Amino acid sequence: MLRWGGESKIEREREGKKNIGGRFLFPFRSPRPRPLQKKNSKPQNSEASDLSEGAVRLALLERGEPPTGSNKPAEGDCVVFHLEVRAAPKEGHGGGAGDGPPLFSTRGGGGGGEAERGAPFVALLGPRGAPHRLPRAWELALGDSTPGTRLAVRCDGALYGWGGETCGVAPPASLSSSAAGPSLGPGGDYLYDLQLLRFYPSDAVVGVPLRLPPSEAPPSALDDDGDEGGAAAKARRAAAAASLADTSGNPAALKLSLEPGTTWESPRPPFEVSFALSAAAPAADGRLGKGEVFWQQGGIGGDGRGKAPACSSPSPSSSGEDVLITATMGDGSLPEALEAALSCVCQGETAVVSLPLAALQTSAAQRREDKRPLAFSLPYPLPRAVAASRRVELTLRLAGMVQVRDLVGPAERGNEKRGRVTKKRVKEGRGEFPADCPLGDCAVKVHVRAVALVGGEEAEGEVLWDTRTRQQEEDAGASGASCSAAAADDDGGSSSPPPPPFEFVIGTGAAPDAVDLAVCLMTPGEVSVVESDWAHARFGRKESAGATTPAGLLDVGGGESGEGGDRERARRVRFELELVEFEAPDRDPPPAARLLRSDELRAQGNAVLSSGVPRALELAAGKYRRAAQLLQSALDFDTEEQHEAASRGRAAAHANVAAVALRQGRWGEALAASQRALDDEPRHAKALFRRAAALASLGRFPEADEAFGLAEEADPAAAEDVARERARVAARRKRAGEKQRREMSGFL
């Protein structure tokens, strides 16, 4: 049995009636066990045993609302509560724990220092609150409380207090500076005074992932010219860093939705966002979004439903408080905590986010390095209520977002990393994203305008392609011009109809890779701007290009004068795309159509392999796999001829997958694909040859030699290829043997 001060259980219960000024209505009691779900936490039977022995004891200080069965917080709910911490009575001390001021208190008034903050604790209850989970004793007490209930809690601090295994919050900084703090530590014997103010259901509140930055003065604490010299400037920076440091012991960040959004998608880097924002001190009664607003922009108040009241701290724009804040996520113009909050809301949604003040700290060093203007920063000095509580509540309304996607991944350019292919939506299309977007193998019609970006600022240069003009037809030859003239004469001299859009099938290499990637993320009618490097902006090889392929995107040095013009200097190309319409292929065609569609997919794979586009191998492999899947089920075919044709088609498709895998260096995948081809056609010469090559690449030389023999036997015309591959394998085997002898010589 866990003992406090060496007293018996009966003596402790008697003492409970007079503890903390005699305010206990009932003596200490053990709470009911609550299930633990966190991984590696204590088993339930172990917790029940601990509680029965008094590891956690509760005593009622003030009654709350009468329990109704639904007015107690459940696991995952957001709880708002006041906390006072005192040192538990020492051994042999007959008095209560109420002697002297609290070591820490979230209640305003009295105690001095940290006790003046007046901001309640906010957290999620149970494992959902990780990584900032509350001490287990607090969870047990709060889960057994109704709003207004005030409990005194004593526990084994090393197991159920701040020192517990599941606890994710640290003691407040004021405890380490108090007289009792150094001798107790996180696992010390404290008396916790908890009062539940209110709670929010789990479906209304979500956690916001944060990474607290190191203490550093905000940019507004520097001199106007950014100079850091001088004692006065250093003192201001130290004061600013101290005012932002997280000393409250409450690091959780939570979002409460006030008004639902109109879409499901949330912004993320590098989306462009526009939003209204207000900042307020936490309300003393724990109501989220009801605190005193001290900063606002965009015409939103603390409750999200109107303009903020007048406050002493000025808004960033004295003449434009209703102007929305606009920024690009991920470019450093917003604090990471604000970006994390924005990533948890949808377009049109209004939400209040409660978070530690330290999370809004902006790195001055990063600001000076990036030299980007700040889209948002808190005013300095901060209001006293905010600086004391170390927490702030942001009410934001996401008014709009521009979808910007990095389609390929960043490429370093000097000291800067930028996307090789980025897509920015500038006009919404019809339908829902991504349900109404074209998938692979869809035939699409799209209007394209491509412009070379030249110069240090990448200004628009030469127009390389524009489907809305007839320049492409003129480039295609005199026949196209004569056809246009004839069309004009047929119309009686009236203007000719606009040129048709560019048509291609996704994933065939018939379009630049940047266009191919972008249209897969567009809905009909959508207009997007795509910026691409040259590798993804050009068409494939000349021999695979069509008659209407624009010359400006076929060869970077292909100018009429031989100098190439802007194309020669172009580092990047900007496309303006409008998806007109698309046609999806039949995903469940009849048997005869399946055979034709499979042959068509294999032909498209062969074409994309010869196109020379950056993703040729990846696209071709996808075509071959879908060709094999169409013929996979024998139940889809009725006649013996169809079954035989399907078997041949599957074998050819799997053999092609093996060929692509060999070129990609995926030896195991090549071996498996060639074996699937041989299951359908045991004498398939190409599958036998590719199986042998895969075995040799895997170092299985005897099996490879046997497989090469079978390939030569199946197709005598392949004898030359087999001999060449055998010679290559023999040389590789010889090098492997020499390397092994050299490595083993050191051990003998």
The last residue of one of the domains, among 585, 615, 636, is 585
Mean pLDDT along residues 743-748: 68
Model pLDDT, residue 729? 85
Cα separation, 735 vs 732, in Å, equals 5
Lowest mean pLDDT among 162-171, 445-454, 469-478, 726-735: 469-478
Lowest mean pLDDT among 228-237, 257-266, 397-406, 642-651: 228-237
Lowest mean pLDDT among 97-111, 118-132, 423-437, 585-599: 97-111
Going by C-alpha positions, the residue among 173, 184, 556, 209 that lies closest to residue 359 is 209
- Is the confidence at residue 658, as pLDDT, over 80? yes
Mean pLDDT along residues 236-256: 60
3 inside domain: no
pLDDT in tens, 165-213: 888 888 887 675 544 444 456 667 788 999 999 999 998 898 888 765 5
Residue 27's CB: how many other CB atoms inside 10 A? 18
207 inside domain: no
- Is the confidence at residue 652, as pLDDT, over 90? yes
Mean pLDDT along residues 734-746: 78
Whether 284 and 421 map to the same domain: the answer is: no
- Is the confidence at residue 132, as pLDDT, over 50? yes
Mean pLDDT along residues 679-701: 93
Whether 388 and 437 map to the same domain: the answer is: no
How far from chain centre, in Å, is Cα 677?
A: 40
Whether 397 and 431 map to the same domain: the answer is: no
Whether 541 and 558 map to the same domain: the answer is: yes
The top-scoring range by mean pLDDT among 292-306, 393-407, 605-619, 651-665 is 651-665
The top-scoring range by mean pLDDT among 93-102, 464-473, 666-675 is 666-675
More confident residue, 574 or 19: 574
Model pLDDT, residue 681? 94
- Is the confidence at residue 557, as pLDDT, over 70? no
pLDDT in tens, 333-356: 888 889 999 999 999 999 999 988
More confident residue, 33 or 373: 373
Model pLDDT, residue 135? 92
Backbone CA torsion sign across 333, 339, 343, 347: negative
- Is the confidence at residue 450, as pLDDT, over 60? yes
Cα separation, 640 vs 647, in Å, equals 11
Mean pLDDT along residues 684-690: 94
Claim: this prediction has a pTM higher than 0.75:
no
Model pLDDT, residue 311? 36
Percent of the chain with pLDDT over 70: 70
Mean pLDDT along residues 124-147: 89
Model pLDDT, residue 359? 82
- Is the confidence at residue 478, as pLDDT, over 60? no
For residue 603, the domain's CATH number is 1.25.40.10
Mean pLDDT along residues 57-74: 90
pLDDT in tens, 381-436: 788 778 777 889 999 999 999 989 888 876 655 445 567 899 999 998 998 888 89
- Is the confidence at residue 21, as pLDDT, over 80? no
210 inside domain: no
| Rama region for 139: left / alpha / beta (φ>0; ψ in -120 to 50; rest) | alpha
Cα separation, 578 vs 466, in Å, equals 12
274, 401 in Cβ contact below 8 A?
A: yes
401, 273 in Cβ contact below 8 A?
A: yes
Model pLDDT, residue 302? 57
Work out the pLDDT band at 449, boundaries 50, 70, 90. Answer: very high
Model pLDDT, residue 548? 67
- Is the confidence at residue 510, as pLDDT, over 80? yes
Lowest mean pLDDT among 31-35, 363-367, 420-424, 696-700: 363-367
Whether 20 and 167 map to the same domain: the answer is: yes
410: helix, coil or strand? strand
Whether 580 and 631 map to the same domain: the answer is: no
At residue 718, what are phi and psi to the nearest 5 degrees? -90, 10
Whether 232 and 304 map to the same domain: the answer is: yes
Percent of the chain with pLDDT over 90: 33
Whether 637 and 661 map to the same domain: the answer is: yes
Whether 390 and 462 map to the same domain: the answer is: no
Going by C-alpha positions, the residue among 176, 188, 394 that lies closest to residue 296 is 394
For residue 468, the domain's CATH number is 3.10.50.40
Q: Which long-range contacts (CB under 8 A, 24 or more apart) does 682-688 make?
A: 683/714, 684/651, 684/652, 684/655, 684/714, 685/711, 685/714, 685/715, 685/718, 686/655, 686/659, 687/651, 687/654, 687/655, 687/658, 688/714
- The domain total for the chain is 4
4 inside domain: no
395, 352 in Cβ contact below 8 A?
A: yes
**Residue 95: HSE in the Cβ half-sphere, 13 Å Cα cutoff:** 7
- Is the confidence at residue 244, as pLDDT, over 50? no
Model pLDDT, residue 108? 64
Which pair of structure tokens corresponds to residue 40? 């590696």
372-to-157, 345, 455 alpha-carbon distances in Å: 47, 25, 21
Whether 47 and 123 map to the same domain: the answer is: yes
Cα separation, 352 vs 122, in Å, equals 13
Tell me the pLDDT of the chain averaged across its residues. Answer: 77
450, 463 in Cβ contact below 8 A?
A: yes
How far from chain centre, in Å, is Cα 483?
A: 52
148-to-64, 285, 703 alpha-carbon distances in Å: 4, 11, 78
> Hey, which residues does 190 pair with through a beta bridge?
87
Residue 241's CB: how many other CB atoms inside 10 A? 18
566 inside domain: yes
pLDDT in tens, 310-339: 333 333 333 345 789 999 888 888 888 899
Model pLDDT, residue 549? 75
Model pLDDT, residue 503? 94
Backbone CA torsion sign across 732, 733, 738, 741: positive
pLDDT in tens, 618-629: 999 999 999 999
The last residue of one of the domains, among 558, 585, 612, is 585
Model pLDDT, residue 649? 94
The last residue of one of the domains, among 585, 603, 626, is 585
652 inside domain: yes
272, 326 in Cβ contact below 8 A?
A: yes
Residues 6 or more apart whose Cβ sits within 8 Å of residue 171: 85, 104, 162, 181, 186, 249
Whether 178 and 234 map to the same domain: the answer is: no
244 inside domain: yes
Mean pLDDT along residues 225-245: 47
Residues 6 or more apart whose Cβ sits within 8 Å of residue 408: 419, 420, 421, 517, 536
294 inside domain: yes
Whether 554 and 423 map to the same domain: the answer is: yes
Q: Which domain holds residue 240?
A: 219-402
Model pLDDT, residue 553? 84
Work out the pLDDT band at 648, boundaries 50, 70, 90. Answer: very high
Lowest mean pLDDT among 466-480, 665-679, 716-730: 466-480
> Hey, which residues does 199 pair with through a beta bridge?
79
- In degrees, to the nearest 5, what angle opens at C-alpha 316 toward C-alphas 314 and 322? 100
Cα separation, 639 vs 620, in Å, equals 30
Q: Where are the alpha helices (DSSP H) in 419-555?
A: 471-476, 478-490, 513-519, 534-537
Model pLDDT, residue 689? 94
Model pLDDT, residue 479? 42
